[in-house]
Copies of this chain bind each other. A is one copy, B any other.
Amino acid sequence: MKFGGTSVADIDRIRNVARHVKREVDAGNQVAVIVSAMSGKTNELVGWCSQASPLHDAREYDAVVASGEQVTSGLLALTLQHMGVQARSWQGWQIPILTSQAHGSARIEGIDGSEIVKRFTEREEVAVVAGFQGLHKDTGRITTLGRGGSDTSAVAIAAAIGADRCDIYTDVDGVYTTDPRIVPRAKKLDKVSFEEMLEMASLGAKVLQVRSVELAMVQGVRLFVRSSFDDPDNPTEGTLICDEEEIVEQQVVTGIAYSKDEAQITLRRVADKPGVAAGIFVPLAESNINVDMIIQVVSNDAHTTDLTFTVPSAEYARAVKILEDARDVIGYEQLEGATDVVKISAIGIGMRSHAGVASAAFKALAEKGINIRAITTSEIKFSLLIDKDYTELAVRTLHSLYGLDKAA
């Protein structure tokens, strides 16, 4: 069971979390709980680090920010004990959760779950594990897994102790066909395949961290997304993230995701010669700017070409600066940019066996007068870049088109 920062934001909520845990223990389950820091605490700690030293030593940063999870692990153990449930806290270095030395974004390399399992049987003791943290074996220093790392901790612990399931409790009660704030008729999905969830997670449906879904897929850990705000004594079923073999009735399209964190850059009249793409994208890659959709259109005259691509909107200004600095090297006539764009994506493993899924979307959007700026497709998804103003209309249109609206 994993609980995020909003679920453990204060003692009352920690008590509510403890009731969820007690329900599972009372049902005869052996439980490891992974907790994040109280919401707001990690930001406070990060803020202090930035004030102390703008360019901070990631090893010290990790020592400071890991303290947030230490606090909640101890408090949840105390709360469980007060409810009569055997429990103890585990810090990353105590288990230990061994990681790489990449402080601030370490990768888990190994977990010995045997002591936790032993205590399940010998003491009926719940393990309350501080998420987000680990230990680098050689240096003996505290590492952290990066933002949202507690999901990854949870999946890794689940794999290490051979858990039957890994329940990720969050502030929503499952994975929906799209954002219910935009489409009130969005349906909660009973099951989603790992592949689909990966696309959704990376496309802006912020229910689960991408790394944790990848790890669950590789390790074969069945994930449940559930709500921590349900009545602990009468919880609703969440959404199971599992192998696609477990999903009997596959939809062509499972969900519609959108991401507003995109910006579009177009270079006009780029000299159409070998190596020009490298001249553009290598400097961006070297600056750690992730380029997503790329479209090349031959200009009217045959010697130049127009290149359109997207970057994360947070990196837009930096990307423009890099390209302007390299203007002479690249050789383009004009740089155009747009930050008022949105990427709409349709995801479904059924696309593999169905043709014409994307073209139906082009037609439906055209009928609504929505202009498509760029398109990318992969085996189980396609994405469209459109004006941000049309976000809701486009999502609703595609949601209806693929039969995802729930019965009125």
Q: Which residues of A contact B (CB under 8 A)?
A: 11, 14-15, 45, 48-49, 51-57, 59-61, 63-64, 66-68, 70-71, 73-79, 81-82, 88-89, 91, 93-94, 140-142
Contact = CB atoms under 8 A, between A and B. Distances in A.
A60 B48 contact: no
Contacts of A89: 60, 63
Contact of A64 (B52, B74, B88, B140): B74
Contact of A74 (B61, B68, B75): B61
B140 A94 contact: yes
A362 to B, nearest CB: 53
A257 B68 CA distance: 41
B56 A78 contact: yes
A58 to B, nearest CB: 10
Given A11-B48, A67-B71, A77 B91 contact: no
A49 to B, nearest CB: 6
The quantity of this chain's copies bound in the complex is 2
Main secondary structure of the interface of A (DSSP, over half): helix
B59 A79 contact: no
B91 A78 contact: no
Contact of A49 (B48, B70, B78): B78
A129 to B, nearest CB: 12
Contacts of A63: 70, 73-74, 77, 89, 91
A407 to B, nearest CB: 45
11 contacts: A11-B51, A45-B71, A55-B82, A60-B75, A61-B78, A63-B74, A63-B89, A64-B74, A67-B71, A70-B70, A94-B140
A91 B141 CA distance: 9
A21 to B, nearest CB: 13
A48 B82 CA distance: 13
Given A11-B52, A52-B79, A63-B70, 16 more contacts: A11-B48, A14-B52, A45-B71, A49-B74, A52-B75, A53-B81, A53-B82, A54-B82, A56-B81, A60-B75, A63-B91, A64-B75, A67-B70, A91-B142, A93-B93, A94-B141
Contacts of A14: 52
A64 B54 CA distance: 28
Contacts of A77: 57, 60, 63
A91 B91 CA distance: 13
A48 B61 CA distance: 24
Nearest to A94: B140
Contacts of A73: 63
A27 to B, nearest CB: 23
A71 B64 CA distance: 5
A88 B67 contact: no
Contacts of A79: 52-53
Contacts of A51: 11
A83 to B, nearest CB: 9
Contact of A82 (B52, B59, B71, B76): B52
Nearest to A57: B81
List the 5 shortest-distance A-B pairs measured between CB atoms, nearest first.
A64-B74, A53-B82, A63-B74, A52-B78, A67-B67
